[in-house]
Each structure stands twice: as structure tokens, then as C-alpha cells.
Structure 1
Amino acid sequence: MTAGEPEGVQEQEPVTVTDRRRIDPETGEVREEPAAGPGPAEAEPVADPRADGEPEVSDLADERVAELTADLQRERAQFANFRRRAAEEKQGSVLYGKQLLIDKLLPVLDDLDRARQHGDLDEGPLRSVADKLVAELSAEGLTTFGAPGDVFDPELHEAVQHDGDGAEPVIGAVYRTGYRLGEKVIRHAMVTVTDPSDVGSDAAEQTGAQ
């Protein structure tokens, strides 16, 4: 406000008028459009977590499941092996116990064989007892081997006498019966070895000697 102006009258701002006409009225030429100002800032791209080599959560979960599955399979295999070994050890212990008992009964079985060869088991109560004992032992897997005429096998038979030329050795006489428990030989048969043509005479001599 200047001196001499009445109070209350304010100086007014100058009015600016912008000519927005596209054609200049003085030259008649088309005016150029003003350059556009900077547009809105573009959003920055979201970084892919896998771009830096970091695995996704689903990948980590799959790896963990695979590890747990492998651990479970190993545990199952170890348990199966443990059960198999336990069963084998139990079976071996049972077989060992049977063998100890049969070893103690072998002299009794030998006495029964001699009694049978002399006709003492043809009748009477002793025959019933002998038959029951042999039946029970057979049920446990005990079998006999070694009979006159069988082919001689050094893995099964113990030869105490050799006769003949030995071309085709067979058992001539049996002095002690051989026993097998399952597949295990627990006592070899004690026999004489001869030619096939002499089997009958050797067996008769062995029976008469006893």
C-alpha cells in the first residue's frame, strides 16, 4: 500500500492469462505442444527370491520329506535284520539244546538197537517204551543212516574194516548206527566196507558177533 491510498484497499495480484489456442492468431501457424512433464514413477520390479539362489519353502519341505523317508527305510531295514538274526539265534539255541539231549540218549539208543537185533524187542513192555522213545526223537528231527548195502560215504561213515578191491565200496556191516539231527550229522556210522557181492555175508557175521 502507498501513501495517499485509503486504508482497507489491498494491492491486487496481477492476473496471468495463458493463451491455449493451438493456432497463433498473428502468424496463423500451429503452435507446438508443450513437452509433457515427467510421468508417475514406475514401480520397481519385485526381486525373485530364487534369482539369488535361495530355495523356495516348498523345495525345502520336499528335501526334508525325502530325508525322513530315507531314515525310516533304514530303520525298517535294521529292524528286519535284527528280527532275522534273533530268529536264527533262537533256532540255533533250540537245535543246540536238542543235540545236548540226544547226545545223552545215544547210549540208550545203542542198547535198544542191540536188544532189537537179539529179538528182545519183539514183544513185551520194553518194545512199547522203545517205540515211543524213537517216535518222539524222530518228531524232533532225528534220523538214522548207515545200512548194509548203502554206498560208502566218508563224510557219513567211519570205516573200521576194508574188504574187496574197493572199486565200488559199499557198507558190509554196521557196528554203530549213525544219527543226523535235521541236516547236521551228530554221529558218524561205524561200518565195514566191502564189495557189493559180499554185503550179505558181512552183515551176518556182524549180527553173530553181537
Structure 2
Amino acid sequence: MTEETRGNTEEPGAASGKTAKGRDAAGAKPAAAAAAAEETEAGTESVADLRKQLAERTADLQRLQAEYQNYRKRVERDRVTVREIAVAAILENLLPVLDDIGRARDHDELTGGFKSVGESLETVVAKLGLQQFGKQGEVFDPQLHEALMHSYSPDVEETTCVQILQPGYKIGDRIIRPARVAVAEPEPGGSSSTSEEKSEAKGEDAAEGAKDAKSAKASKDKSDTEK
């Protein structure tokens, strides 16, 4: 009887312990879920922060790359400009020599060894970018030509270079020396005079044609009468 009573006495305690464990387990589930939710939220915020930092670093890198490209272009442009200035300064001192070669060629004096030297020099300066300009018959451009002589001519309709006294030279768009020229302008009132002359000529031709037609008709009438 004593053992059975002891066994019966222990059973309620055991059941009570199991119930407490169940309550603890049930209470632990919401706590674990809350902790997991907090971790997920913290992880989401961390990912968003990392993405923001990545976007900022990418923008910084793109800006630095653009600045570097602009710097390279500016350095290259400055380098070309400095080279053109240096070459222009050297070639400007050679222009009188090129003028002498041109005059010798115009007078058929560019012969023998002098011809070879002159052609070699012209080839070298052409490789350095020197270009000659200025031709007879060109329309006068004050940015390219320097007028040393002036005249009027009925053969031109606008201010025209009628003679090249010295050719011009340039490197790219840089003018080293303008072409020195003689220019001619249309004669004052030349256009109206020309129009009047053309009208008078047409009138004379018409009158002459009418006179010839009248003479032909009179001859025909006389011939018919004689018949």
C-alpha cells in the first residue's frame, strides 16, 4: 500500500512538469519568430545600405573616368596646339626661301642642283603641314588675302584677285601669312550700263529684222506685179 501511494503521489508532479515544458516550448516559438523577423529586417536594411554604397561608389568611379577622359583630350589638344605653334615659328623663317624658289620657277631658273634642293625643301615643309594658297581668279577674302593693289575691271562681277604677288601659307586653320594680291572691282555703274547696252542691241536687232522683212515683202509684191 505504501508503494502504490508513493506512485500515485509522484504522478501529478510528473504531469505538472510536462505541462510546464509545453508552456515553455509554446512561449519560445513566438520569441524565436520575433528574433527571426528582427534578423530578417536587419539583413534587409544591411542589403539596402550596401546597395546604396555600391551605387555611390559606381557614380564616383564614372565621374573620375569622365574627368580622366576630358583631361586626356585637353592634354592632346594642348600638345597639338604647342606643336603647331613651334612648327609655324620655324616655317615662318623659311617663307622668304620658298618665295625665292617660286620666283626662280616662274622665270625658268629652277634648274640643276638648285632645282633638287628647292623641291626637297618644298617636300619637307609640306610633310610638316605647310599649305600654300592663293590663286588668280579667286574671290577676295580679307581673312585670307591682303590687297596691295586695286583697280576696276568690266570683266569681274565682284572683288576678285587678278594677280598673286605673294602666295599665302597656312598650317591647318592657322594662317602664317596671308596671300598678297592685286584685286579688281566691277566698274561703278557697270551693271546698269551693260544692261542698257544689251537692251539697245536687242532694239537695233529688232529694228533691223523688221526692216529686212519689209524689204522682202516689197520685193515679193513687185515680183507678183511684174508677173
TM-score by length of 2: 0.63
Q: Distance in 1 between matches of 2:152 and 2:38?
A: 95
Give the counterpart of 1:58 among 47, 52, 58. 47
Q: How does 1:71-82 map to 2 (within 5 A)?
A: 71-82=60-71
Shift of 1:66: 1.2
Greater helix proportion: 2
Match of 1:106 in 2: 95
* CA displacement at 1:51 relative to structure 2: 10
1:75-102 residue CA offsets vs partner (Å, 9 max, x unmatched) = 1111111111111111111111110111
- In 2: Cα distance, 1:87 partner to 1:162 partner: 44
Match of 1:88 in 2: 77
Residue 133 (structure 1) aligned with residue 121 (structure 2)? yes
Distance (whole Å) between structure 2 residues aligned to residue 113 and residue 147 of structure 1? 14
Whether the 8 Å contact between 1:50 and 1:56 is mirrored in structure 2 is no
Q: Which residue does the alignment assign to 1:161?
A: 149
Instruction: Report the CA distance between 1:159 and its aligned residue.
Output: 0.7
2:167 to 177, 193, 198: 177
Name the SS for the 1:113 alignment partner.
helix
TM-score (norm 1): 0.67
SS at match of 1:173: strand
1:121-150 CA distance string (max 9 Å, x none): 0x2110110001111111221111112112
1:33-76 deviation line (CA, Å, top 9, x unaligned): xxxx9982634441644999996221121112111111111111
- Taking the TM superposition and a 5 Å limit, the aligned residue runs for 1:31-70 are 40=23, 42-43=27-28, 44-45=30-31, 46=34, 48-49=37-38, 56-70=45-59
- Residue 118 of structure 1: CA displacement? 2.0
Q: Distance in 1 between matches of 2:39 and 2:116?
A: 88
Give distance in 2, aligned partners of 1:124 and 1:52.
Answer: 94
Q: Percent identity?
A: 35
Alignment partner for residue 177 of structure 2, among 183, 187, 200?
187
Write the letter of the residue equivalent to 1:97.
A
Matching residue within 123, 132, 136 for 1:144: 132
CA shift, 1:195, in A, is 5.3
Local SS of the residue matching 1:163: strand
Name which one, 1 or 2, has greater alpha-carbon Rg: 1
CA distance in 2 between partners of 1:50 and 1:115 (Å): 95
Give the structure 2 partner of residue 34 of structure 1. Answer: none
Shift of 1:116: 1.7
Q: CA RMSD in A?
A: 2.8
Quick one: distance in 1 between partners of 2:119 and 2:176? Answer: 21
Is the 1:162–1:192 contact (alpha carbons within 8 Å) kept by the matching residues of 2? yes
In 2, Cα distance between the equivalents of 1:132 and 1:52? 82
Structure 1 gap segments, 5+ residues each: 1-11, 16-36, 197-210
